[in-house]
Structure 1
Amino acid sequence: MRGGHSNSAIFLILVLLSAVVPVQAGTGEYSIGVIEGTPAVSYMHDYSHLDEVTFLNDEMAIRGLINGEIDFLIADHLVLADITGNFDYNEMSVLGGVGESWKAVPVVRSDSTEDYGNIELLQAVNAAIAEIYQSEEYELLYSTWFTGMSNIEESDYIASLNDGWPTASSGGRLEKILNHDKEFLACTYDQSNGLSSIDTEGKIIGFEIDLAESISKKIAEHYGSEFGFRIIENFEKNDVVNELLNEENCDFGLAGFISGEAITNGLHPGIPYYSGGMVIAASMQSPNVESISSIFEAPEFIEDVDGFDSRLILIALLAFFIVLRLRTNPI
C-alpha cells in the first residue's frame, strides 16, 4: 500500500504543478503580406507570431490581398492609396499608418545678394497651401489621386495661416513674378505614382501638379496680379535640385522632398502638403478588427513565464509534508 500512496502523492503533485503552467490566451491568427525589398519586410521582424507572406512586386501583392490570399497588406501609401493604378480600389481600403510617416514639403533656394526674395516666395507658397487646407479644395485635389483621407493635421499649417501673406520686397523674386518681370516656374519630376506621373499623351499629371497650379492661382488672387505660370518637368529628383539651384530655371519645387532632404541639398523647406509612409490595407475578404493595434497583438499568457509563481512554494511544502507523512506513517 505504501507504493500506492507514493504514486498517488506524485500524481497529486503533478496535477498541482500543471495548474501554474502558462496558458496561451490567443494566437497570431492573421496573415500579413509584404513586398520584397521594402521597409515592410524589416517592420515585420518584430511580429514573428504573424504569418508573413512575401510578394515579388506591388501588383502581385495587391492582387493577393483582393483575392483573399492574405488578410492584410503592408506597403507604402503611394502604392496602396494611389487610385490611378490598375486595380479596382473599391475592393480594398487603407486602414491607417504603421511605423514612421514622412511629409513632403515645397522647397526654394536660399537668398543671396544677387538673388533674394526666395524665402519671401516660400512664405507666399506656405500661405497659399494653408488657405487651400482651410477650404474644401485640398480634399478635392487629394481625392483625385488618392483613396481615403489625408493625414495632414491642423498643426502642420496653422502657423502659416496665422502668419499670413508676406509683403513683396522691391526687386525680390516675388515682386518680379507679380510685376510680370518673370514667369512663375515650379519644378517636379516623374515619380510614377499619384504625386506625379506621365500620362498616355506624355503630359505630366498628379497631385503635385494640381496643387502647384492651385498655389499659383491663390498667389495671383491674393496679390491681384495675373502672371504666367509653368511647370518644369525633370527626369530625376537630383535634376530638380539642380534646377532650383540655378536661379533662372525654377522658383520653387514640389517633388516629394522631406525637410531634412531639402536642407541637406541646400534648400529651404516649407509646410507639409502630403503625408506618406507605410500603411496597412484590407480587402472585402479581410477579417474585421477593432483597431490596427489589435492586428499586431502578440499572444498573451495568463501567467508570466519569466516571473516567479509564489504558489510553487505552497506546492513544494505540500509535497514535502505528503512524503514525510508517508515515511513516518507507512500503511
Structure 2
Amino acid sequence: MRGTAAILIVLILLSCSWLPASGEASYSIGTISGEDSSRFVAQNSNLQEMEFEDMQFAIRSLRDGEVDFVIGPHHLLTDSEMIAQWNTITVGEMFDISDYFIAMIRSDNSQDSGNEELRYAVNSALADIHQRGTAISTHQLWFSDRPQLDFYDFEEYEDAWPTPTEGGTLHRILFEDGDIGVCMLNQDSSMTRFGASGELVGFEVDMAEMIANSIASHYEVELTLYSHNSGVFENVLSDLTESDLCDIAMASVTPDQVPGGFTSSSPYHVGGTVILSSTESPGIDSAAELFDSDQPKDDESDFDLRIVAILLLSVFILREAARKD
C-alpha cells in the first residue's frame, strides 16, 4: 500500500516538474506592416506578433495594453515629435544595428577630379562635428534616444583636411560656386521631411548644414548649403552624375547601395530596430531577453535543477516506501 502511494506521489511530482516549461512568459509584439520586423518575432516561439497598418495604430495599442511591446525601424519609432505626444511610451534600446548611413560622392576619373578631396573634407568635417559634440545634440533634437555611432571612427580624419586642387570638385565648391549641393529624399520621418514652408527639414538636413559650415570655417570661405529633393533613389544617382544640382548625396544611403563610380564618406548616423514599451508593458531587463534566441534563459536552467532535485526526492521516497513495506 505504501509502495502504491509512493508511486503516485512520484508521478505527481514529475508531472509538476513540467509546469515551468509550459508556463514560460509569452509576450505580444506589435510590428508595422512593410517594415520587415517580423523576422525577430518568428525566431522565438514565446512571442506573438500583431501587425499594424501604420505606426500610430501600433503605438495606440501599446498605450492601451493591447500589445506588450512594439518594434520597428529607428527612424520611425524614435521621432521626437511623435514620442512627445505619448507620455506613457518609452523608447528602449536599439537591439539590432543594421544601417550605417553615409554621404555618397562621385569617384574621381579623367574628366572629374577632386571628388576624393571632397570626401576627405566631408570626413574631416564629421570628425570636427563629433569632436565638438554638436552631432549628439542634433541627434537628440530629432530622435528620442542617444546616438549609437562609434565616434572613434573619425579619429583618422581629425586635422586631416585636404588641400584643394585647382580644377577639382572641392576647389570649385570653395572658390568658384560658393555653395554645396546635397541630394536628399523626403522620407516623412525625422531623417527628412517637408517643413511648414515646404522646405526639407530633419536630421540629415541639419547634418548637411553642419558639414557645410565646418568646411567653410576651415577653409575660411562663405559656403551656402543647397538641399535638393531628388524624389527617388534612382534620381539621386542621376542628379549626382548628369546635372549640377548635387555635389554629394545624403539620402539615408547605406554602403551596400553605393554603385560603381561612386564612393562614400564615413557614417554620419546609425540605424536599426528599436523597441518601445509603455507603462502597461511587463518588465524585462533588455530586448535581448526577448529576441536573442541563442541567449540561455534563466527559466531553462532553473527547470533543469528542479528536475534533478525531484528525481532525487523520488528515489528517496521509493526507497523509504520499499524499506518500510
TM range (shorter): 0.7 to 0.9
Name the aligned partner's letter for residue 174 of structure 1. L
Contact persistence 1:188–1:240 (CA under 8 A)? yes
Matches within 5 A, 1:47-86: 47-85=44-82
Decide which structure has the larger Cα Rg and report it.
1
Partner of 2:131: 134
Which residue in the other structure is 1:117 paired with?
114
The CA deviation at 1:79 is 1.3
Tell which deviates more after alignment, 137-146 or 116-125: 137-146
Question: In structure 2, what is the equivalent of residue 108 of structure 1?
Answer: 105
Structure 1 residue 227 and structure 2 residue 226: aligned?
A: no
RMSD: 3.1
CA contact 1:196–1:206 (8 Å) conserved in 2: yes
In the other structure, the counterpart of 2:241 is 245
2:91 paired residue number: 94
Structure 1 residue corresponding to 2:285, chosen from 278, 282, 290: 290
Instruction: Say whether residues 1:28 and 2:25 are aligned partners.
Output: yes
Hey, what does 1:11 align to over in structure 2? 5
275, 281, 285: which one aligns with 1:280:
275
Distance 1:111 1:42 in 2: 40
User: 2:181 is matched with which residue?
Assistant: 185
Alpha-carbon contact 1:17-1:312 (below 8 Å) kept: no
Q: Do the aligned residues in 2 keep the contact of 1:22 with 1:304 (CA within 8 Å)?
A: no
Give, in angstroms, the shift of residue 309 of structure 1: 6.4
Q: Tell me the CA shift for residue 316 of structure 1.
A: 8.3
Question: In the aligned structure 2, how far is the partner of 1:315 from the partner of 1:283?
Answer: 45
Q: Provide, for residues 65-96 of structure 1, a one-character-per-residue CA deviation record: whole Å limited to 9, x for no partner.
A: 22332222111111111124486154322111
Q: Give the aligned residue type for 2:139.
A: Y
Higher strand fraction: Structure 1 or Structure 2?
Answer: 2
CA distance in 2, matches of 1:43, 1:123: 38
Partner of 1:146: 143
Structure 1 unaligned spans of 5+: 327-331
Match of 1:214 among 210, 213, 235: 210
23 and 269 in structure 1: CA distance in 2 versus 1, 3 angstrom threshold: same
Of the structure 1 ranges 106-115 and 30-39, higher mean CA displacement relative to structure 2 is found in 30-39
Give distance in 2, aligned partners of 1:234 and 1:177. 20
User: Aligned letter for 1:217?
Assistant: N
1:254 is aligned, of 250, 266, 270, to 250
* 1:212-266 Cα shifts (integer Å, max 9, x gaps): 111111101001112343112211121111111236332111100111111x354
- Output the CA distance in 1 between the equivalents of 2:145 and 2:51: 25
Cα deviations across residues 87-119 of structure 1 (Å, max 9, x unaligned)?
Answer: 615432211112342111111011011101111
CA offsets per residue over residues 136-183 of structure 1, 9 Å max, x none?
31122212211121111123322323x621121232111112212564
Q: Post-superposition shift, 1:321?
A: 12
Q: Provide the residue aligned with 2:262 in structure 1.
A: 267
Query: SS in structure 1 opposite 2:188?
Result: coil
Secondary structure at the counterpart of residue 267 of structure 2: coil
Change (3 A) 1:18 1:267: farther
AA at the equivalent of 2:193: S
2:153 matched to which residue of 1? 156
Moved more, 21-30 or 230-239: 21-30
* Amino acid in structure 1 at the alignment position of 2:5: F
Amino acid at match of 1:38: E
Q: 1:89 to 1:103 in 2, by over 3 A?
A: farther
What code does the residue aligned with 1:277 have?
A: G
| C-alpha spacing 1:77/1:311, structure 2 compared with 1 (3 Å) | closer
Contact 1:124 1:219 in 2 (8 A): yes
The CA distance in 2 between the partners of 1:51 and 1:177, in whole Å, is 54
Q: TM-score, normalised by structure 2?
A: 0.85
**Residue 197 of structure 1 contacts residue 206 of structure 1 at CA under 8 Å; is this kept in 2?**
yes
**For residues 52 and 228 of structure 1, what CA distance do their matches in structure 2 show?**
48
Unmatched tracts of structure 2, length 5 or more: none
